[in-house]
């Protein structure tokens, strides 16, 4: 049995994992999929920066006395997981980045989507969500369901540089989605892995694979959890 801590991406909340969770639970695993402050049912909360999210996840891990964790970060959740693993390395067995944005040490999330001549908004800005458009593996019903739940995402965490070691403390898996549009931060991460010769897996799904391909995602996560440390 493994304990999974699933971290959602921008504009989403813990609800984005609701179709993955049943597969993991049915296989006997424990699953935690919290909404970060400023997201989901916690949209009204204030977020000073990346440490706000990391601190609250550390508090959850310590309160529940979680150990031997499989950390999973989807999209912007990759930034959070990278910082979290550095804070609690002894409690982490494996890290999985699912179409994740993974800055290098000292980088910010915004550095993964560089745009020449673009002025960044103020730190206190909340970026409004855009309603998803059905297409690919995202059907009309799921797109509408998501649109009713998306929330603005605080910009401050994307401006904070990662203060983490050069290397992860343990095993890492990178998984990308074949249908993710160009320009997403995960594309920068993937290109860097190609340049470095780092292996990764590609699944046939769009960026919101936890909702559109939950069985595939669950299988990927369970395979990662089963790998020896």
Q: Quote the tokens at residue 146.
A: 């998501």
Catalytic site residue 75?
A: yes
Distances (CA, A) of 38 to 31, 41, 46: 21, 8, 6
Q: How far is CA 22 from the centre of its chain?
A: 19
- Candidates 75, 158, 173, 186; catalytic one: 75
Residues known to be catalytic: 75
């Amino acid at each position: 049995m493994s304990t999974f801590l699933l971290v959602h991406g921008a504009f989403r909340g813990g609800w984005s994992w609701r179709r993955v969770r049943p597969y993991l639970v049915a296989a006997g695993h424990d699953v935690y999929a919290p909404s970060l402050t400023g997201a989901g049912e916690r949209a009204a909360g204030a977020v000073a920066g990346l440490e706000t999210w990391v601190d609250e996840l550390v508090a959850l891990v310590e309160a529940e006395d979680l150990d031997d964790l499989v950390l999973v970060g989807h999209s912007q959740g990759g930034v959070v997981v990278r910082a979290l693993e550095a804070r609690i390395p002894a409690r982490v067995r494996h890290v999985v980045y699912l179409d994740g944005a993974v800055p290098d040490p000292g980088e910010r999330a915004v550095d993964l989507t560089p745009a020449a001549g673009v002025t960044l908004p103020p730190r206190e800005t909340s970026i409004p969500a855009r309603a998803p458009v059905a297409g690919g593996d995202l059907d009309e019903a799921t797109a509408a369901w998501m649109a009713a739940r998306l929330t603005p995402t605080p910009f401050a965490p994307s401006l904070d540089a990662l203060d983490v070691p050069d290397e992860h403390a343990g095993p890492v898996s990178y998984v990308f989605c074949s249908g993710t549009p160009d320009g997403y931060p995960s594309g920068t991460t993937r290109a860097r892995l190609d340049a470095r010769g780092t292996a990764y897996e590609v699944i046939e799904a769009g960026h919101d694979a936890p909702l559109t391909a939950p069985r595939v995602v669950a299988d990927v996560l369970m395979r990662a959890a089963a790998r020896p440390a």
